[in-house]
Amino acid sequence: MHRRYGLLVLLTVFVVLAVAYASVREFQSSGMPFSVIVVDAHTAVIAPIPGIPLPKALEPGDRIDLAAAPRSTRIAIGRFTQSDSALPAGRTYEFPIRRGQAEVMVPVTTVNASTGTGVQWSDWAFLCFVVLLGGIALLASWRGRDKASAGLALWAIAFVLGIAGGAVPLDGRLGLSVQLGVDVLFLLARVGFYIMIESMLGPALTPRARWLWRGGFLLLLAAGAITRLGGPGFFVATGWAELLRPQFGLVFSVSYLVPLALLIVNSGVANGARRLRLRWMLWSSVVFVTAVFLDNTPLLGFLASLITNTLMLLIAMAGFLYAVLRHRVVDISVVLNRALVYAATTSLVLGLFALLESLIERTTLGHGTGLLLELAVPLGLGAALSTVHRRIEAVVERFFFRHQYRAEVALRRFAEECAFITQPENLFDLTVDQIARHAGAPRVALYERTAEAYIRIRQQGAPALPEQVATDDLAFVKLRARNAELDLDDTQSQLGRDGYAFPLMLRGTLLGALVVGQRPGEHYAADERELLFHVAHEVGAALFALRARESQAFVRAVAQGLLKPEEARDQAIRLETTWSPA
């Protein structure tokens, strides 16, 4: 096995196990029966958790003397105040509580905290969030093809592993070590997030601007690392808890603002198609970063921050996944296509049919039901669900594939109508214009053969392709041999490695080629390439007919003596070079 695939398999195992473990632990989490809010370097306040009764010896607002707490209690406080990490169930810790001038030690035993909030649906929302995050991690790892997808993979993998690590119920020195490791993973996630955003913007950033943004990000990341990694360790060693106060959670979160600001500043200057893609990432990033701030610093209170944070994370992950699959903001060689979506809707309708039929059989139809009624029920259900199916497909078409559908219709119509164009020059102009407009290609070029080479007759977009390409250039050799689309990335050719070439082939003769540049951060789907191949074939047929008409007109003019000898010789040479075998 190739080393890369071995690493991918190992990462996949880790991600799947992390998602499964974090999902299970969400419903079995254990921790303190209250939350702790650090108010100064030596004091914390007890705040009740809705749904979990406080121990009898404690009251809301009781003040904890952090400096007097045993080391095991300090480690426990450091774990669940920093990121609400799990603690072993049934473990007892001694808390020094100040009451006036007196101080008492109150034993507190950890409890099952999964039912404490009274909001059970938040557990399911969190499960969906973790599954989506794991899906993004695997998708970017296996199918990513550029630096932006590598950053996305690093962010998602580090994030999901950090969540799973925080769910491990440990205390003592091992628990503190795991907590520090989790925080390192969350710092790595910030690095991956920045790499993704910076790589997505690409040429929009000048080298100087790129280094300035990187410098600001690294400074804020270092500040967050010092407070997050140094705070618990210093507190456990000395009892000084200043770095555990909620406002230092903002320091840990603020490094996310740099890539977000980078996206806001540069998304406004992008072109129309790229602006739409970046807009999805922008709004998803805003929701995600807000959720991170609420998680690290619960400004709205425990319950409100929990609900808001869970919902925001779920919405953000759905937005990221939609942006990657539908608008392909990073170079992921997976496409959300009609076949996949329609297959899913068909399966959904069939499953609904089976469920309804089973319910009707159990609740309405008995053993004595007549054969006619037994046949009528599934037929009626089928007719009703057929209508539902058509409406679902119509909604899917309008919501997911409206732009793609319109573009396909326009290109198919052009393929049908190009045979009625009367001038080759008009055919060339309309071909590159229609494909650039409806396929969203940043560069479209047409080549036509001559006796010695293929000549570029039209191009729209940059960078410019060679004006002349050798007849036996490897790309044209493959087009002549296979009469199929050609991925230039797999071919060493003068045409470069960006995009696809489609043959203008008719009757075994390669008249030329249609070269379509790759969309930024996006691959053409199989059905798009099939449509472009069809358009190229029809354009080739139209070109063949126009050149044949020119030859007929030339022969007729020569026969009637309408051309001077010099004109007849020049035109004969031009027609000979255009129609020479290739």
DSSP label at residue 332: B
Tell me which H or E stretch contains 151. Answer: helix 147-166
- Please state the φ and ψ torsions of residue 449, each to the nearest 5 degrees: -80, 150
**Domain residue ranges of the chain, discontinuous segments joined by +:** 3-23+116-325, 33-112, 338-386, 407-565
**What is the chain's alpha carbon radius of gyration, rounded to the nearest angstrom?**
33
Residue numbers in the chain where pLDDT is lower than 50: 1, 116-119, 333-336, 577, 579-582
In this predicted structure, what is the pLDDT of residue 581? 42
DSSP label at residue 243: G
Q: How far apart are CA 515 and CA 488, in angstroms?
A: 9
DSSP label at residue 444: E
User: Torsion angle of alpha carbons 320, 322, 327, 332, nearest 10°?
Assistant: 70
CATH for the 407-565 domain, from 1.10.340.30, 3.30.930.10, 2.30.110.10, 3.30.450.40: 3.30.450.40
In this predicted structure, what is the pLDDT of residue 242? 85
Residues 29, 113 contacting (CB under 8 angstroms): yes
Find, among 21, 114, 104, 36, the residue nearest to 76 by Cα: 36
Strand duo 500-506 + 486-487: pairing: antiparallel
Q: How far apart are CA 574 and CA 453, in angstroms?
A: 13
DSSP label at residue 94: E
| Helix pair angle (147-166, 3-26), 10° resolution | 40
* Strand, helix or coil for residue 463: coil
In this predicted structure, what is the pLDDT of residue 385? 61
HSE (side-chain half, CA atoms, 13 Å) at 273: 17
DSSP label at residue 484: S
Residues 23, 127 contacting (CB under 8 angstroms): yes
Find, among 415, 575, 422, 416, the residue nearest to 502 by Cα: 415
Sign of the torsion angle spanned by Cα atoms 190, 79, 116, 68 = negative
In this predicted structure, what is the pLDDT of residue 493? 87
Residues 439, 518 contacting (CB under 8 angstroms): no
In this predicted structure, what is the pLDDT of residue 384? 61
In this predicted structure, what is the pLDDT of residue 206? 83
In this predicted structure, what is the pLDDT of residue 201? 81
